[in-house]
Amino acid sequence: MTDKSDEYDALVAEKMQARAERHVRENQVEHDAQVREAELARAVQARDEQLRQQHLSEMRVREVAAEARRNRPALIVQYRADPTGVRLVATLRDVCLKCGSEQVRCLSDSLPRKLVCPDCATKWTASACWSCATGLLDSRDPETPRCPQCGWSKCAVCGACNPQGCSTNTYNTGHRQRDEVMA
């Protein structure tokens, strides 16, 4: 009788143990599912946020472009009267100051970047400085005029003109103002 009772107790204990282990497994599975769900929700949220930011930055770019277009006529009048600093006005780089045409054609994308107005045939060059990388050049700007020796616009920041070298300065592609400063 004692034996039978012990056997029974052992059986009960075994069943309880098995049930406890099953609960642990079930809880683990449920927990894993919750973790996966949370990760998925975070991923979706991150993607939505990224799309929102992308949309916002596209809107800002469009607004800036629209603002520039709105301001353009006034800027054309202003810089036609005095082109000093026109090299710094991005929205006028590809606009003819003489007649206001916005259908300007680029004759060559290699430096110096040559532009021509199809309406009045005015030609100019506008680009970033090859030497110092911060200077902007525009042959219409009296602060970056064409060098009388080589014909390239002279940078107001570093003084470079022709990348092949020019008798008016020591800068060429192998010896830039930037290299000199860093040396």
Among 98, 146, 175, 178, binds Zn ion (CB under 5 A): 98
150 binds Zn ion (CB under 5 A): yes
Residues 6 or more apart in contact with residue 133 via CB below 8 angstroms: 178
38 binds Zn ion (CB under 5 A): no
Would you call the peptide bond into 112 cis, given omega within 30 degrees of 0 as the criterion?
yes
As measured in angstroms, the least distance from the Cβ of 172 to Zn ion is 11
Candidates 8-16, 27-35, 79-87, 142-150; binding stretch for Zn ion (CB under 5 A): 142-150
157 binds Zn ion (CB under 5 A): yes
User: Which of residues 62 and 105 has its CB atom nearest to Zn ion in the complex?
Assistant: 105
Candidates 15-23, 24-32, 53-61, 98-106; binding stretch for Zn ion (CB under 5 A): 98-106
User: In this structure, what is the dihedral angle of CA atoms 149, 152, 156, 158, given to the nearest 10 degrees?
Assistant: -80
User: Which of residues 68 and 157 has its CB atom nearest to Zn ion in the complex?
Assistant: 157
What is the rounded distance in angstroms from the CA atom of residue 107 to the CA atom of residue 117?
10
